[in-house]
Structure 1
């Protein structure tokens, strides 16, 4: 698996990373052990999770604490799962960071991201201070912002963050021009989340309350020709698009399927998209995308 320089951090990250949201929804430890163990053995070295992803942090800690030096560990704070207080109250943030370390069975993570924090809260400065103190105390090597649109623009402009995680895929391209170029100028490592648009085009119908609904609706209008191909071909094209976007260092993909990592890695065997393929997708986006098609958290 090819690795890329992760901004100014000095880390070299695998092009594909593991997103921990899905395993937090009732996956047993044996399945997670098989899934993550095989992924690490095959060259993946980025695991991204969050304190609000159910049991995700606990499962990762339980099955991978003994291999802590084999991967970069990213988590997020700001949605205080299980605590009846303001999500962005500084003392609570500090407690959730400590709780994350306990769950992950580690003394430190490589990056802590503020999880979709609003511009209003960012401007107050307190939450940024919490992350900076965590870095000073060695609880995290670097700090980052995970989010989209105008809040992300402000976060990048502060110059304090080392890492930027944002939604990016064939149905979500706002970041290509709005945020990623500036983040890259500032030396930030770039993580693409939701890189295959929840594979929404493979579903005949999607409930309006489903996480993938907005992407499904957009893709009905975008009508990329390659989405008519076999699923393996269309998913490969979508994933390769995300990784072809200039500035992207790694794309995190979540799954509960122990065999999925090798399947995802195989999708990249053709390498990145050609300049012509990339331009076609971008052109279609510019032709069809509406002004309210902003980055989706």
Structure 2
């Protein structure tokens, strides 16, 4: 597996990241540990999680609160089985979501970020995070406050790099300029929704990331399963049970039909093609492969080894056109 550098850092990571959001509520711990081991054995060293992962939204409110953090605990117990695994892993976790009942038990204030970081370290059974990621924009917390606490955590050895998720291009520009004033490295990676069907980030976010040397890790590379061969599968109804997926299939059925025919002509599974396409996009470091089964992991591994020709990439653009860069996309 050919590793890539994470943004403008010298940190080398696999071209796919193992997404762990399903570990706990969907994938039981024994299967989750097996997936973690299989990924590491295959050369996947980039591991993505978050403090809020692990709760099943169908549980009661009380259970939901108790189970938050369970995914991190599963990973921590996996690390504890073989401490060498931690040194072989580039570990990302995130903070922002509600983890308690108080008004300061969520978002990005300095006090909460410190508590969130230290709680994640305990659950993950490690002394540092390779990337500590801000899971969403908090418009009430300015960059001066953010860099104050994040730099403190870095100096204490608790984090090595800072990342963001769901930030806009102008948010990142503000953050990088604030970091420069402090002579800090700043943000090195951004996670955002990005796939063949959802290409909004191409307008301003991706150009901003490329300009600042921020690596991009797309999540939802299969767009809730719609790019995973949904029409060809017998369990279509189950796989499109969510309102978002069902609406997307209804609105985009003709495009999805064309896409699945393209994949058949190519001789590749749709899930492999969708993730391989992302790896051909400038600035993308690694799509996040949200695994529930070994098959999902195998699709991600196959995508990492797949190459699409210029003709094939152009044909995918005709099926799922992008928005084009700003301002040309909407101005003369």
Residue pairs, 1:192-207, within 5 angstroms? 192-201=218-227, 202=230, 203-204=236-237, 206-207=240-241
Q: What does residue 25 of structure 1 align with? A: 25
In the TM superposition, what is the alpha-carbon distance from 1:213 to its structure 2 partner? 4.8
Encode CA deviations 1:231-258: one digit per residue, 9 max, x unaligned.
9621121111111111111111111214
Encode CA deviations 1:129-153: one digit per residue, 9 max, x unaligned.
33232222211100011115xx343
In the TM superposition, what is the alpha-carbon distance from 1:123 to its structure 2 partner? 3.9
Q: What does residue 295 of structure 1 align with? A: none
Q: What does residue 310 of structure 2 align with? A: 275
Encode CA deviations 1:106-148: one digit per residue, 9 max, x unaligned.
0101101111214x23546434433232222211100011115
Of 95, 99, 102, 1:77 maps to: 95
What secondary structure sits across from 1:92 in the alignment?
helix
Of 155, 162, 168, 1:136 maps to: 155
1:29/1:63 contact within 8 Å kept:
no
Query: 1:95, 1:58 → 2: CA distance?
Result: 16
User: Would the alpha carbon gap of residues 287 and 43 (structure 1) be closer, same or farther in structure 2, given more than 3 Å must change?
Assistant: closer
User: Would the alpha carbon gap of residues 46 and 215 (structure 1) be closer, same or farther in structure 2, given more than 3 Å must change?
Assistant: farther
2:7/2:188 contact within 8 Å kept:
yes
Query: 2:120, 2:281 → 1: CA distance?
Result: 31
Deviating more after overlay: 154-163 vs 249-258 = 154-163
Q: What does residue 127 of structure 2 align with? A: 107
Query: 2:323, 2:46 → 1: CA distance?
Result: 34
* Structure-1-length-normalised TM-score: 0.85
Q: What does residue 262 of structure 1 align with? A: 298
Larger radius of gyration: 2
Structure 1 stretches lacking a partner, 5+ long = 290-297
Query: 2:44, 2:125 → 1: CA distance?
Result: 20
1:110/1:140 contact within 8 Å kept:
yes
Of 219, 232, 241, 2:277 maps to: 241
* Structure-2-length-normalised TM-score: 0.77
In the TM superposition, what is the alpha-carbon distance from 1:224 to its structure 2 partner? 5.8
Q: Report the count of equivalent residues.
A: 284
1:196/1:238 contact within 8 Å kept:
yes
Q: What does residue 212 of structure 2 align with? A: 186
Query: 2:323, 2:295 → 1: CA distance?
Result: 36
In the TM superposition, what is the alpha-carbon distance from 1:227 to its structure 2 partner? 2.1
Mapped pair 1:49 → 2:83: no
Mapped pair 1:58 → 2:73: yes
